[in-house]
Amino acid sequence: MRIKTWLALSYLIVLLLPFAAVYGLYISISHFDRRQDLREFVAARQQMEELETILQEEKLYHIQPRENYQEIEKAATGSIRITLYRPDGITLYSSWDDSYAGRLLQVDTSRLYSGLNHLSKHARTYSLKQTVFHDRELTGIYEITLPRDVWIDGVNNRTIMVGGILGLFVVLVYGTVIWLLHRKLTRPLGQLRENMMAFANGEPLNDQWNHSRDEIGELIAHFYQMKKQIERTRQELVQQQQEKQFIVAALSHDLKTPLTVIQAYSESLWGGRLLSEEERLEYAEILFNKIAYMKQLLQDLSLYTSLQSEEKEAEQVLVDGEEFFDMLLNGYEEPCTQNKIKLHTEVCAANTYCLNPGQMMRVVDNVMSNSIRHTPPGKNLWLAVVSSDCPLPEWVFHPFHRELESFWKGGTLLLIQNHGKAIPKELQERIFLPFVQGEDARANGSSGLGLSIAKKIIEQHGGKIGLWSEDGYGTLIACWLREGEQKDEA
């Protein structure tokens, strides 16, 4: 239950308690009154009939000393009240008055004669006014008042009982509210404060803390979401810092060798031994190649850095799949022919795509240049684009089928597969990191950023990239792209 719900419920209960108590008391008294009414009426009637035998004597209704009323005083025990009146309203005797002050006073005859010969029930008493006749002449009136002791005691007992129940219920509600406040507010907020302090101090937290589904539970859940996000951000920052350190170290290493070569050959050209024209041309060609390599390395590093920046986002346009990918896969026959590699291309993509053509060309260039370098002369290299409604090409190496079909679901695949030496397992997991490459790749003049750039570009298009390599077969690189007109919102 949410906190605002049970607080409102508690307030409503406390607000309705007095009304419930009054209503309960009324019901209890009404039930007791109905049950006691007849019994009490009969008892009062019997008691009054016993007194009437004394009060019917005509001699009592004359002015006389109080001592003459001793028999009445004996009958009027306890809280019974007996009052005698003359027909003209003069009070002759009252059992509740021990002095003469209340005697011989005249009461209003209209009040005196109202309700004669009728047993009246009041809240605390029964009363009866009865006339006394002698020789058919009215000689006096007596009034008997009997207390309703049993009824009053019952009402008092029920009032005490209802009050006790009300008090007990108030204590119960108060205790329940205190317990709920401790359970839903004090304890969770205390635990949350301890966890926040522990998190601030870098201490481990209990992620299995079960919290309720109320507002405090939502606050705790948001805290853990914030904690996970902060930890993820910290981890990303650490990873980025490590990656930067690795890039700086790798870049220093990759620039050191060509710079050393450039320095040595420049010194030879500038002031070393006398060189022949053929040697001078050879040295110049080496210098130009090293400078081109360094330029390409710096360009790749600049592109990789810009792709990492969230502010850098290339514009994507809508293209026709068949027309665009036909154009994209053209132009690789010449470098494959020069390296005596048999190139096979295939396009099966009739959908539309939202992408950046220039960046996609860079992806294919990077992956193809990497594949050409690692494909031995006389071997095959396959390049294909296959949408989700087309069959998988038959030339895909059998060991890669199952994982590739799972990878392929719901999108279009850009496939580059070659015969050649397999990539070691430990290197496959890190191959898309910057400057991660085999020794033979470094010897061939690779910058080590081509696959990293390709991965960044594909991810910016809302896609993913995968690599499979197996001894005896070769290597397959697959880029998954979304189909349709939606742009990536990431």
| Residue numbers in the chain where pLDDT is lower than 50 | 100-101, 311, 489-490
The H or E element containing residue 134 is strand 125-134
Q: How far apart are CA 116 and CA 451, in angstroms?
A: 118
Cβ proximity of 408 and 392 under 8 Å: yes
Q: What is the DSSP string of 88-102?
A: TSBEEEETT--SSTT
Supply the pLDDT for residue 224. Answer: 83
Cβ proximity of 464 and 317 under 8 Å: no
Tokens found for residue 487: 């742009």
Q: Which of 144, 132, 135, 137 is nearest to 57 (CA)?
A: 132
Supply the pLDDT for residue 490. Answer: 41
How many angstroms from the chain centroid is the CA of residue 399? 45
431-457 burial: b if 16+ Cβ within 10 Å, else e: bbbbbbbbeebbeeebbbbbbbbbbbb
Cβ proximity of 55 and 130 under 8 Å: yes
The CATH code for residues 315-481 is: 3.30.565.10
Tell me which residue has tokens 């697959």: 478
Amino acid present at 138: L
Q: How far apart are CA 478 and CA 177, in angstroms?
A: 62
Q: In Å, what is the CA distance from 166 to each residue of 15, 30, 179, 382?
A: 12, 19, 20, 88
Q: How far apart are CA 58 and CA 138, in angstroms?
A: 10
Question: How big is the chain, counted in residues?
Answer: 490
Q: At what angle do helices 215-271 and 3-55 cross, to 10 degrees?
A: 170
Q: What is the pLDDT of residues 304-346, one digit of tens each?
A: 777 666 545 668 889 988 899 999 998 889 989 999 999 999 9
The CATH H-level superfamily of 3-153 is PAS domain (3.30.450.20)
Cβ proximity of 366 and 450 under 8 Å: yes
What number of other Cβ atoms are within 10 A of residue 227's Cβ?
15
**How do the domains of the chain map onto residue ranges?**
3-153, 215-295, 315-481
Cβ proximity of 211 and 220 under 8 Å: yes
Q: How far apart are CA 368 and CA 339, in angstroms?
A: 13
Supply the pLDDT for residue 272. Answer: 60
